[in-house]
Amino acid sequence: MKNKIENVASLEDLQALYTETFGKNGTMTQKLKNMANLSNDERAVINAENTELRQLFRDKQNELELAALNAKLATEKIDVTLDTEPKNRGTIHPLTQTLKEIATILESLGYELWTGPEIEDDWHNFTALNTPEYHPARDMQDTFFLENGNVMRTQTSAIQIRAMEKVGAPIKMFTVGQCYRREMDTTHLPSFRQIEGLYVDKNINMSDLVGTLRVLLSKFFGRNIELRIRPSYFPFTEPSVEFDIKWDNGKWLEMGGAGMVHPNVLRNCNIDPDEHQGFAFGFGWDRLAMLKYGLNDMRAFTDGDIRWLKNSGF
């Protein structure tokens, strides 16, 4: 039996031999059943044989299992020097990256992030922002009106009203969010993303506004930005300006609007304009992403084409 165990070449054959020896009708099983008729010396011999055979089976099983494992490892080993198979890996969307960068800069300048509802009432979206009923911004061509008289938020300035109503002055905050207007071309979407900043305190002036814009844009683009300020008109600021930056080709590019918060807006938020002044600015972060990362068509942001995203350098 010892020789048979030693010569077994597979686990299947070993199992068969084990059954032949220790199974219900196995040779050793029969010997153990007949031990009652044997002398003590004969029993001792059979017990010793039983113990030895069981150990031999265990040792042989371990040997065959180890051999099988080594054979499997030999056929499945990985050559770590080989090139890995290419895999599709996710990337940060350019709009997400741009928002993170702008938010980080504004927070470093002491601005606090506020958010608000995308469906607004007339007061927060228009009236409190000093937008009279005859203003073109209320026209159906620009604004999405809802059946109950509310609107899809046309600018995140509505959040500034909510913030000033809640905490008053001083306040230093910025907003980010979706806005909605009836327009669609290569540089405009009916749903666009806006960033706005507001700083209200005592003795705030236009120099503070221009300095903030210059620092913000220079930090974002990673170089000193030449800024141009042009007079403009917005119902919620007075004076109002538009700000441009000088781009690599020497041309001036319009970036957004800004100005000193109109006294009527401060009064609508229960802030005394004789004691506090402030400035506000706003721009679309889609536009910033297009400029910084060399993108040509804003509509590509919403196409969901992973090929475009992979080829845009992100």
Q: Checking DSSP bridges between strand 112-114 and strand 171-180, what pairing results, if any?
A: parallel
Q: What is the pLDDT of residue 197?
A: 96
Whole-number Å distance between alpha carbons of 97 and 99: 6
pTM of the model: 0.67
Instruction: pLDDT band for 31, please (50, 70, 90 cuts).
Output: confident
What average pLDDT score do residues 136-161 get? 82
Q: Closest by alpha carbon to 284, among 133, 183, 210?
A: 183
What are the sequence ranges of the domains in the chain? 2-76, 94-311
Rg (CA), the chain: 39
How far is the CA of 127 from the CAs of 136, 220, 269, in angstroms?
A: 13, 33, 11
Asked if pLDDT for residue 244 goes beyond 80, the answer is yes
Q: Each residue of 133-145: pLDDT tens digit?
A: 877 766 655 788 8
| CATH code given to domain 94-311 | 3.30.930.10
Instruction: pLDDT band for 90, please (50, 70, 90 cuts).
Output: low
Helix (H) or strand (E) holding 281: strand 277-284
DSSP 101: H
Asked if pLDDT for residue 205 goes beyond 80, the answer is yes
